Amino acid sequence: MRYDLNLLPVFLALMEERSVTRAAERLGITQPALSNALARLRDMLQDPLFIRERYGMQPTQKAEELAPTIASALASLDALILGQQGFDPAKAERLFTIAPNSYVEFVLVPAIVARLREHAPGIRLRLTPFGTDLAETGVISGATAMVIGRVVDPPDNLVVQHLMDDGLACVVRADHPRVNKRMSKQQYEQLKHVNVLPPGRLRVGLFQALERQGVRREVAVSVTHFLAIPEMIAVTDYCATLPSLICRRLADDPRLKVMPAPVDLGTFPVEMAWHVRYRHDPAHQWLRTLIGEVAREIQRGR
């Protein structure tokens, strides 16, 4: 029996997305084209594979059994074929889907985009959120090129690379009536705070760091993204505890004042993870190298 290998990435995208619409967007094809491919998959594998339910497409038992084997087979093919191909970033026309957490999107992605515009203007990026669930990003199936953030308990088919570390600092409004150039632990505990609740492990790390140091914090407002902080701090007497590299950006805002945290709150890692099938892909290798260089330069303050 002859198999259409072009259908296998469709199978993996559906396993990951559980939605014809989202899988089509991820693969860069139309929804009718993906529906047609699904029909051919069902015929080829003699199984419904995915059953439409209220909250999306649910894989059948056979689909669940086939998924690891298909992912492994595609990884082997990629290593064999892509490893033989060269890559010229200046001439490349390609779309990469990456999943940065909200911290990385704020701190690293603008510099990554600027570097791509300079060295590889034909490469486009599509960003998908990275919260607490690696599976939701598509990186476990290989549908997404990489995740960037805090990678916890990765499965065996992901390669994880450490990019950099960051610490924590505080920001208040520039003319704050109770805080000068530095803040004591007592002042910190007396202030009201804006708490950032990005998806993922970053917020857990801050809570744990404060608890280790025996520091109390009265949270007045919780927001979901770092971009909400400057406007809120500028018009209140509140304080925000943020990653140092984000505070470095906010220090340019004349309405704000950045200072060290009153106690040592430690550091947190920033990591990049990708599917093993992309380990030897020249284009992916080049992009990962570029991101690593950008991370090191930003950490050094360049």
Model pLDDT for residues 231-272, shown as the tens digit of each residue: 999 999 999 999 999 999 999 999 999 999 999 999 999 999
178 touches 187 (CB < 8 A)? yes
Looking at the structure, tell me whether residues 129 and 69 fall in a common domain. Answer: no
* 36 vs 70, higher pLDDT: 36
229 touches 223 (CB < 8 A)? yes
Summarize pLDDT for 27-44 with one digit per residue, the tens: 878 899 999 999 999 999
Looking at the structure, tell me whether residues 119 and 256 fall in a common domain. Answer: no
pTM for the complete prediction? 0.73
**Structural domain contains residue 129:** yes
Looking at the structure, tell me whether residues 293 and 155 fall in a common domain. Answer: yes
Summarize pLDDT for 180-191 with one digit per residue, the tens: 889 999 999 999
- Helix axis angle, 31-45 to 20-27, nearest 10°: 100
> How does DSSP classify residue 228?
G
State residue 56's pLDDT score.
79
Looking at the structure, tell me whether residues 262 and 174 fall in a common domain. Answer: yes
State residue 204's pLDDT score.
61
Residue 1 has pLDDT above 60, yes or no: no
**Structural domain contains residue 53:** yes
Confidence of residue 12 (pLDDT cuts 50, 70, 90): confident
Structural domain for 226, as ranges:
168-266
Looking at the structure, tell me whether residues 138 and 175 fall in a common domain. Answer: no
Summarize pLDDT for 145-190 with one digit per residue, the tens: 999 999 988 888 899 999 999 999 999 999 999 998 899 999 999 9
Looking at the structure, tell me whether residues 182 and 112 fall in a common domain. Answer: no
CATH number of the domain residue 20 falls in: 1.10.10.10
What is residue 168's three-state secondary structure? Answer: strand
**Structural domain contains residue 89:** no
Burial class (CB in 10 A: 0-12, 13-18, 19+), 243: buried
Looking at the structure, tell me whether residues 177 and 260 fall in a common domain. Answer: yes
Which two three-digit tokens encode residue 257? 């004042």
Looking at the structure, tell me whether residues 177 and 262 fall in a common domain. Answer: yes
> How does DSSP classify residue 199?
S
Total number of domains constituting the chain: 3
Looking at the structure, tell me whether residues 218 and 239 fall in a common domain. Answer: yes
Looking at the structure, tell me whether residues 32 and 12 fall in a common domain. Answer: yes
CATH number of the domain residue 254 falls in: 3.40.190.10
Looking at the structure, tell me whether residues 152 and 291 fall in a common domain. Answer: yes
Confidence of residue 82 (pLDDT cuts 50, 70, 90): low
User: What is the Cα–Cα distance from 288 to 275, expressed in whole angstroms?
Assistant: 12
Q: Where among 84, 116, 136 does a domain terminate?
A: 84
Mean of all residue pLDDT scores within the chain: 88
Q: Where among 26, 61, 84 does a domain terminate?
A: 84
Q: Which residue shows structure tokens 């970033």? A: 89
CA 22 to chain centre: 18
